[in-house]
Amino acid sequence: MHKSIFIFVLSFTTMVFSVVPHICFAEGQGPLTIMTSSGARHFTVDYAITPTEKAKGLMHRESLPKSTGMLFIYQTPEPITMWMKNTPVSLDMIFISNRGRIRYIEERTEPNSTRQIHSHGKVSAVLEVVAGTVKDFGIKVGDEVILGK
pLDDT of residue 31: 97
Structural contact between residues 145 and 43, judged by C-beta atoms closer than 8 angstroms: no
pLDDT of residue 119: 97
pLDDT of residue 17 exceeding 60: no
DSSP the chain: -HHHHHHHHHHHHHHHHHH-HHHHTTTSEEEEEEEETTEEEEEEEEEE-SHHHHHHTTTT-S---TTEEEEEEEEEEEEEEE--TT--S-EEEEEE-TTSBEEEEE-SPPTT----EEEEEEEEEEEEEETTHHHHHT--TT-EEEET-
pLDDT of residue 85: 96
pLDDT of residue 148: 85
Q: Which domains does the chain have, with CATH numbers?
A: 27-147 (2.60.120.1140)
Q: Which pTM was predicted?
A: 0.82
pLDDT band at 16 (very low <50, low <70, confident <90, very high): very low
